Amino acid sequence: MRHWARRGAVAWLLWPVSLLFGVLVFFRRALYKLGIFKSHGAGIPLIVIGNLSAGGSGKTPLVLRTVEILREHGWKPGIVSRGYGGSSRQPREASIASDPSAVGDEPMLLARRSGCPVWVAPERVAACRALRERHPECDVIVSDDGLQHYALRRAVEICIVDARGFGNGFLQPAGPLREPASRLGSVDLVVAHGAPGVRGHAMTLEGERLVRFADARDVRAAKSFAGQRVHAVAGVGDPARFFQQLAGFGIEVVPHPFPDHHRFGARDFDFGDAGPVVMTEKDAVKCKPFARANFWVFPVSASLDPAFERRLLEKLGGPKAA
């Protein structure tokens, strides 16, 4: 109780700063709308998938499902990302062979799962330009995050909200919001990822298998681990969601939450026993150098209501083949 009281007190102390932040957010967006700040097009339709709150909310699975839908309907998508956590300052292509410390963890996962070209750069405009130069076959780009990156013009805006909702409702630094919750009213599609009270296209993360890190041919049903004590490791925006998914299979979960985008080292996995260690795909891409025989990965995929697919294609003018 005292912890929450302290957090509430700190939020109110920072509230005046949040008001100033809100003013800056308002005028920045207005200046882009008026053309005083210049925005740049990608030359082909661009879909931005982002959120209003700081931290992960399920954007990466949503990007993967969106790309899958596009390919099913004749489009040839590419993906751009800021490459959060990566050190690269110039546009760079991410692949399964990339160094996550250079390109970031999420772009590596996107490259491995999507089969699409994935380019990263601190400035997404530069990433789009590089992607189009190297992959002229692409006819649509999906931006992983970047809802607030107004320097890049977009054809479709998708905002995802997870179970944490809008926190205390304050803008940063008093709260988690990058923009006011009212911004939802101006995006093209809202995706509700277990978000109570948010009207949007429902999304769930589905997964039923565990894959041995050291041998991807060893795939087992997650429920086969029921009753076992398992170390669950998550360096994502909402670790509790991952732990709850595993517990739903009857697994005795020993939770090990880490900060989002945590750079794992071998010592992070010294738990004092040889029990199974289960991690997210996003975390797994950073653990290859010190992977152990007892490491398992839990892949998930986004499932969305059918209306999302229809609305997305409507916004793009229909299937590409048409």
Q: Where do the DSSP E strands lie in the chain?
A: 46-50, 77-81, 92-94, 118-120, 140-144, 156-162, 189-193, 201-206, 209-212, 219-221, 229-234, 252-257, 277-280, 295-298, 301-304
| Separation CA 7–CA 120 (nearest Å) | 35
| Separation CA 16–CA 73 (nearest Å) | 48
Report the pLDDT value the prediction gives residue 3, as an integer from 0 to 100.
47
Report the pLDDT value the prediction gives residue 2, as an integer from 0 to 100.
47
Confidence of residue 321 (pLDDT cuts 50, 70, 90): low
Report the pLDDT value the prediction gives residue 6, as an integer from 0 to 100.
54
| Separation CA 88–CA 110 (nearest Å) | 17
136 CB-near residues (< 8 Å, 6+ apart)? none
| Separation CA 204–CA 214 (nearest Å) | 28
**What is the pLDDT of the chain when averaged over all its residues?**
91
Longest dimension (CA), the chain: 61
Dump pLDDT digits (tens) for 192-223.
998 888 999 999 999 999 999 999 999 999 99
Confidence of residue 116 (pLDDT cuts 50, 70, 90): very high
| Separation CA 240–CA 112 (nearest Å) | 25
**Is pLDDT of 9 > 50?**
yes
161 or 105: which carries more pLDDT confidence?
161
Give exposure, 77-89, as e/b (b: 16+ Cβ within 10 Å): bbbbbbbbbbebe
Report the pLDDT value the prediction gives residue 51, as an integer from 0 to 100.
94
Q: Where are the alpha helices (DSSP H) in 115-169?
A: 124-134
Give me the count of residues in the chain: 322
Domains of the chain, by residue range, sit at 2-76+139-203+303-316, 208-299
Dump pLDDT digits (tens) for 279-308.
999 999 899 899 999 999 999 999 999 999
Dump pLDDT digits (tens) for 44-98.
999 999 999 887 788 999 999 999 999 999 999 999 998 877 777 899 999 888 8
Q: Is 191 helix (H, G, I), strand (E, B) or coil?
A: strand
What pTM was estimated for this model as a whole?
0.91
In the chain, count H helices and then E strands.
Answer: 8, 15
For residue 255, whether the previous peptide bond is cis, meaning omega lies within 30 degrees of 0, is: no
The stretch 113-120 carries a mean pLDDT of 95
Report the pLDDT value the prediction gives residue 87, as an integer from 0 to 100.
77
